[in-house]
Amino acid sequence: MSGPSIYQPQSKVLQWLEKRLPIGGLIHSSFIAYPTPRNLNYWWTFGGILSFMLGVQIITGIVLTMHYTPQVDLAFKSVETIMRDVNYGWLLRYVHANGAAMFFLAVYIHMFRGIYYGSYKEPREVLWILGVIIYLLMMSTGFMGYVLVWGQMSFWAATVITNLFSAIPGIGEPIVSWLWGGYAVGNPTLNRFFSLHYLLPFVIAGVVVLHVWALHVTGQNNPTGVEPKSDKDTLPFTPYATVKDAFFMACYCIVFAWFVFYIPNFLGHADNYIPANPAVTPTHIVPEWYYLPFYAILRAIPDKLLGVLALGGSIVILAFLPWLDTSPVRSARYRPLFRQFFWLFVIVCVGLGWLGSKPPEGIYVILARIFTVYYFAFFIIILPLLGIFEKTKPLPNSISESVLGAKA
């Protein structure tokens, strides 16, 4: 796509640089002149928010590393030292811990937005799959970071999650022992998790570059799902998208700050302020809230191997979404039936999250099973069939027509 303006630096230094490394032109065409659909709503600001959150996590993480000790006898103590003694340590750690939650909240909104507006459809399949990869990397990174605190929840989360691999027939046990570097979760485990927790955010940053690259090849989707057809349908990224992104990012930060300053432990678990004890499992263990829906799916199935497969499948299935959704119409605006199934899907996902936090007994198990069935049915039954049977509403001729009416 060609932008409405071309980069022509005035300064002699920039002209000199541009001849040797055209980075100014790349930035200009990607973030200034880049044409964005004129009808983007606030749901489209979460890409920017996510980049910002990744930056927050990397910066606070690097700083926390300067004070943290990845050793079983010292890890918990060093975290407490950060909280009590290190200058602004309490703030840095609370920003990092709540930042993870805000990062996941943003990614879930971003993903639901993608599903609602059909952003994964041709030609954006690779863009979507890169997003699924980023999400998987985020989950691993978040999990390993949580373990570093080395409280009771950390230790038992590490035990339960690594034990998921023991469900693999035959080679499960050797794999688990290899992951641990011992006969149980211990110092080698903590050390390697620390190493990987430091590495993976930079891998995420690398995949984010690919994600943005793929985005800039296909262009952004928009609330109508109709591709821009003329210059009337688009606006330059700066100032229009830049300001909109920045404004909503500031709003998001207010919520973030409210968590950090007023309820910093609201999303955590009191048990994680007890040092890790390999001899006692806490009576009620649950993962962080952003893993709860998957945890509920795991527990809904009364067989170990099938439960683990369902847990993995519930995430992997997202990568196949571009081919499971057979409808040629992208946006839910013009898909009345899909819209209802979509909101039911949102309710089911949130419901699974709630059930994941409840003990696995009685009505909770039954509900979790019903919701799990819907979760998978949405992808492998409803979406393929809707493309065949749904009567969609007429699409607007162009983005500008949908915004300004037919008179434009």
Partner 1 sequence: MTTVSSAGHTRRDFLYIATGAVGAVGAAAALVPLITQMNPDASTIAAGAPVEIDLAPVANGQIIKVFWRSKPIFIFHRSKKDIEEAQDVSVSTLPDPQPDSERVKPGHDQWLVLIGICTHLGCIPIAHQGEYGGWFCPCHGSQYDTAGRIRKGPAPRNLEVPPYTFVSDTKIRIG
CA–CA gap between residue 37 and residue 237 (Å, rounded): 9
Q: In whole angstroms, how close is the CB of 90 to partner 1 at the nearest point?
A: 31
- Residue pair 226/395 in contact (Cβ under 8 Å)? The answer is yes
| Burial class (CB within 10 angstroms; exposed 0-12, middle 13-18, buried 19+) of 332 | buried
Q: In whole angstroms, how close is the CB of 363 to partner 1 at the nearest point?
A: 14
Contact with partner 1 (CB under 8 A): which of 24, 25, 236, 282?
A: 282
Check residue 10 for interaction with partner 1 (CB under 8 A). Answer: no
Q: In whole angstroms, how close is the CB of 299 to partner 1 at the nearest point?
A: 6
Query: Is the Cβ of residue 177 or residue 392 nearer to partner 1 in the bound state?
Result: 177
CA distances from 117 to 6, 46, 251, 339 (A): 31, 14, 23, 10
Interface stretch with partner 1, choices 24-32, 61-69, 275-283, 378-386 (CB under 8 A) = 275-283
Does the bond joining 328 to the residue before it have cis omega, within 30 degrees of 0?
no
- Residue pair 98/256 in contact (Cβ under 8 Å)? The answer is yes
Q: Going residue by residue from 137 to 166, which x/- string records binding to partner 1, judged by CB under 8 A?
A: -------------------x--xx-xxx-x
Check residue 183 for interaction with partner 1 (CB under 8 A). Answer: yes
Query: Is the Cβ of residue 67 or residue 192 nearer to partner 1 in the bound state?
Result: 192
One DSSP character per residue, 295-331 reads: HHHHHHSSSHHHHHHHHHHHHHGGGGHHHH---S---
Q: Going residue by residue from 188 to 207, which x/- string records binding to partner 1, judged by CB under 8 A?
A: x---x---------------
Query: Is the Cβ of residue 159 or residue 331 nearer to partner 1 in the bound state?
Result: 159
Contact with partner 1 (CB under 8 A): which of 257, 284, 316, 328?
A: 284
Amino acid at 211: H
Contact with partner 1 (CB under 8 A): which of 67, 244, 304, 369?
A: 304
Distinct helix (H) and strand (E) counts, the chain: 17, 2
Check residue 270 for interaction with partner 1 (CB under 8 A). Answer: no
DSSP state of 392: P
Q: What angle do CA 304, 310, 316 make, to 5 degrees?
A: 140
Q: In whole angstroms, how close is the CB of 156 to partner 1 at the nearest point?
A: 7
Query: Is the Cβ of residue 93 or residue 197 nearer to partner 1 in the bound state?
Result: 197
Residues forming the site for partner 1 (CB under 8 A): 156, 159-160, 162-164, 166, 177-184, 186, 188, 192, 278-285, 299, 301-305, 307, 359-361
